[in-house]
Each structure stands twice: as C-alpha cells, then as structure tokens.
Amino acid sequence: MRNDMQRRLTAEFFGTFWLVFGGCGSAVVAAAYPQLGIGFMGVAFAFGLTVLTMAYAVGHISGGHFNPAVTLGLWSAGRCANKHVLPYIIVQVIGAVLASGALWMVASGKPDWIPGGFAANGYGALSPGHYSLAACFFAELLLTFFFLFIIVGTTSKGAATGFAGIPIGLALTLIHLISIPITNTSVNPARSTGPALFAGGEYVGQLWLFWVAPIAGAMIAGALARILYEPSSIVDTVVVEERRTA
C-alpha cells in the first residue's frame, strides 16, 4: 500500500514539474523572442501539451491531476479518495516550486535576461491587461469550473475510452487562449505558487486569489458532477478510468 502511494506521489510530482517547467518555460524563454512567433497561442498550446503528454505518461498511475484544484474538484465529485487529497497537493506544490527553480536557473543563464513577472499570475496592475480583481477572480473561478467539468465528463462511463487526455489538454489550451491577457492564466494553485515565490513582492501578495478562485470553481463543478453523471466508485485515474468502471 505504501509503495502504491509512493508511485502515485512520484507521478504527481513529475507531472506537475513538467507542466510548470514546460508551460511557464515557453512564456519565460521562447516567448521572449518575437522572431519565433510563439506569442500567446504558443504558450497556450505549450500548457495544453504538458498536460496531454503527462496524462498519458503517468495518468494511469496517479490519475494525472497535477493541480490542487483538480484534486479537490475530483474529491468533491467523489472521484478522489480522502487519503490522496493532502499528499497529492503537497507534492504538486513541491513539484511546481522546484520546476520554477529549475526554470530560473536555465533562464538566468542568458547575460541580459530580465525576470520581470517570471510568468506569475496577477490582477489589477499585475494583470497583463490590467483587469480588475473582481474580473480576474470570476475568470479563474469560471474557467476552472469548466476545466474540471470537462475532466469529469471525459472520464465518465460512456465517454470514449482512452482518449480523455486529448480533450483535457485542448481544454487547458483554450483556457489559456482566453485568460492569458486577464490573469496570465492560473486555474492551478501549484502553477501559480512556484513562479510567484521567485517573482516575489506583490505577486506573492496576490497569490491568495489563485488558490481561492480555482479551488472554488473546481469544487462547484465536482458537486454538479455528482448530479449530472452516473454515480460511480472512486476513480483512481484520468486516462484509463473507463477501463476500470466499464
């Protein structure tokens, strides 16, 4: 049993690490070169690809959450065991912080590099488009709601078996295309925490929103899922859930 938990936590650590290093890395490193033409769209696809690739790489081990809001949303939906919630969240945050540290080490190797916001999230003056606190809170809540709604729907009984990682990855891409100008896109408290700790100052002070809003949106979606979808036993995985419950 302990070995099973270790495998799960290792999968969540590496999945979250890859999400933050790959997604934020595309923004911090590649997007800094206009000639590459990566822009918002490239960053959005980078985040989607991190989830898509790791969902298939380790989703069958841990469920492929890589996000405290997803863990709590799936718990709210009855899809995550109580014993997994806190350990998952802890290793997700550790993975995000270490990924941010690794990204800092790489990016700072360029002589004229300026960290700026270091892909951190923010509202008001720290919002890329200077959106208000209320607008940013609502956007993060609503977008995380739909992200969790899509995760539950595509992994429920009757959905196409083995393909859940694709719509989940594309959903995260779409979410970034909508909200990069608003909050620089969180929908993931761990993803927000890592860069904020390195950006420091006001970014740390605004971090509360990127925990509260995503978790609230995900848990509302999870509660709705209990009504909308067929009751099922607790699910261990995202990608291969259908194989266990069919």
Q: Is 1's pLDDT higher than 70?
A: no
Q: Would you state the pLDDT for residue 240? A: 41
The CA distance from 151 to 158, in Å, is 14
Q: Is 242's pLDDT higher than 50?
A: no
Q: What is the mean pLDDT of residues 116-130?
A: 96
Q: How does residue 233 score in pLDDT terms, banded at 50, 70 and 90? A: very low
Domain that holds residue 41: 2-108+118-245
Q: Would you state the pLDDT for residue 238? A: 47
Which tens digits make up the pLDDT trace of 133-146?
Answer: 999 999 999 999 99
* Residue 151, in any domain of the structure: yes
Using alpha carbons, select from 9, 26, 206 the residue that is nearest to residue 94.
Answer: 9
SS3 186: coil
Q: Is 30's pLDDT higher than 90?
A: no
Per the structure block, which two tokens stand in for 91?
A: 């290793």
Using alpha carbons, select from 233, 184, 219 the residue that is nearest to residue 67.
Answer: 219
Choice between 158 and 53, residue whose per-residue pLDDT is larger: 53
* Residue 43, in any domain of the structure: yes
* Residue 152, in any domain of the structure: yes
Please give the share of the chain, as a percent, with pLDDT higher than 90.
80
Q: What is the mean pLDDT of residues 178-186?
A: 97
Which tens digits make up the pLDDT trace of 72-107?
Answer: 999 999 999 999 999 999 999 999 999 999 999 999
Residue ranges of alpha helices (H) inside 63-118 are 68-76, 82-107
| Mean pLDDT of all residues belonging to the chain | 91
The CA distance from 241 to 59, in Å, is 10
Instruction: Check which CATH number belongs to the domain holding 12 and give it.
Output: 1.20.1080.10
* Residue 93, in any domain of the structure: yes
Q: Would you state the pLDDT for residue 193? A: 98
Q: Would you state the pLDDT for residue 230? A: 67
Q: Would you state the pLDDT for residue 241? A: 41
* Residue 177, in any domain of the structure: yes
- Tracing tokens 């993975």 back to the chain, one arrives at 95
Domain total for the chain? Answer: 1
* Residue 113, in any domain of the structure: no
Minimum mean pLDDT range among 34-48, 83-97, 174-188, 205-219: 34-48
